Chain A
Amino acid sequence: MINLLAIILVCCIFICLFRIARGPSASDRAVAIDVLGIMIVAFGAFMSIKTGKEFYLTTALVWALLNFIGVLALSKFLEGKGFDD
């Protein structure tokens, strides 16, 4: 059961990578990267249930945090302002 769900999720991640490769503007790529990061958190939860280990969810938590900070920095960069206002 969990293997089937993980396979569907990996297919979704490939669709998302298609949008990252194809996206016409930089903002499209930023959106796709954000969505990809949230799906990787779901994948961490799957791995944590499958193996019974705790650190996959820790990795997922840290990934969500870094993804958040990275996307905020990217959007500031797209606005064309400095990082400190």
Chain B
Amino acid sequence: MREIIGYFFMFIGVLFDAVGCIGLVRLPDLYNRLQASLKCVAMGTSLILLGTIIIVGVSPVGAKAFLCLLFILIISPTTEHALARASYIAGVKMWEKSIVDRLNEDKKSETG
């Protein structure tokens, strides 16, 4: 019974990973790609690790899987923010159908 629930979670997780990778190819510009793929892949990997914890129970493997889960939940938003900021400063263009860019407006009004 426990194995069936665990494999169910892992199956959903793999589907989320696949959606994240499709998003990595389909979406038009870097910022959308960053959000879509990192969120979906972090969700998928968390579900896979949760399935691992459910299958193996309280054991060394379970403790390590829990540590991995905690770690992924901490690092993936941090890297998301760091990459977004770095690519904005490096001058990566947004998609041409984007609606507003308040950061650019504010920077222009500061300099003159």
Query: CB atoms of A and B under 8 A apart anywhere in the complex?
Result: yes
The CA of A78 and the CA of B90, in the complex, are separated in Å by: 6
Q: Number of contact residues on A: which range applies?
A: 35 or more
Closest to B68 in A: A61
B61–A54 CB distance below 8 A: yes
> Does B103 interact with chain A (Cβ within 8 Å)?
no
Q: Which of A5, A26, A67, A80 contacts B14 (CB 8 A)?
A: A5
Q: Number of contact residues on B: which range applies?
A: 35 or more
The CA of A28 and the CA of B25, in the complex, are separated in Å by: 11
Contact residues, B3-44 vs A (CB, 8 A): 7, 10-11, 13-14, 17-18, 20-22, 24-25, 30, 33-34, 37-38, 41-42, 44
The CA of A31 and the CA of B35, in the complex, are separated in Å by: 10
A41: shortest Cβ distance to chain B, in Å?
A: 6
Once A27-B87, A28-B30, A71-B79 are accepted as A-B contacts, the answer to whether A35 and B24 lie under 8 Å apart by CB is yes
7 additional contacts (CB under 8 A) given A31-B37, A45-B48, A54-B60:
A2-B7, A5-B10, A12-B14, A28-B33, A54-B64, A68-B75, A74-B86
7 interchain pairs, CB-CB under 8 A: A2-B7, A9-B17, A48-B52, A48-B61, A61-B71, A64-B72, A71-B79
